[in-house]
Amino acid sequence: MIGHRPRFLLASSAELIEDQCMRRVSLIAGFLCGAACSSDTCEVPDQTTYSCESLPTGSDGCIGGPVWLDDGTVHQDDIDKVFPADCTAMVPMCSSYYRNMLRLFECHRGDMIYVWSEAL
């Protein structure tokens, strides 16, 4: 076709610069989000970790690790162990509400029994 010029020849220099800047911004945003936003996998420990050693069976303390609810399912690790007061438990979470984080619980003596409570 005679007289047909490619789009980039019809565009002004300001339009070309703006187009290049938008492409760079899109690439940078995509890279940053890809590095920070992606990952459907959890990057937390596989099991609950504790700040203390468990006590012998029959000792006074929290029986089993903390109980928590995750996406409608009740969980509890280490149900056969006893943990002393002031022990903290870090529960790895990977759900729609808790993504790649640790939930912190502490064992303390309630009115008559030892219980885990979540630090908020």
How many alpha carbons fall within 13 Å on the CB side of residue 27? 6
Does 83 lie in the same domain as 24? no
Residue-range definition of the domain harbouring residue 24 = 7-36
pLDDT in tens, 48-90: 999 999 999 999 999 999 998 877 888 899 999 999 999 999 9
Tell me whether residue 67 is in a domain.
yes
Considering the domain architecture, whether residues 59 and 110 belong to the same structural domain is answered as yes
- Does residue 58 lie in a domain region? yes
Q: What pTM does this model have? A: 0.60
| Same structural domain, 58 and 89 | yes
Q: Are residues 54 and 110 in the same domain?
A: yes
Distance (Å, whole) CA 115 – CA 120: 16
Confidence of residue 17 (pLDDT cuts 50, 70, 90): low
- Count of domains in the chain? 2
> pLDDT per residue over 94-116, tens digit each?
766 666 678 899 999 988 999 99
Residues in Cβ contact with 47 at an 8 Å cutoff, skipping those fewer than 6 apart = 77, 92
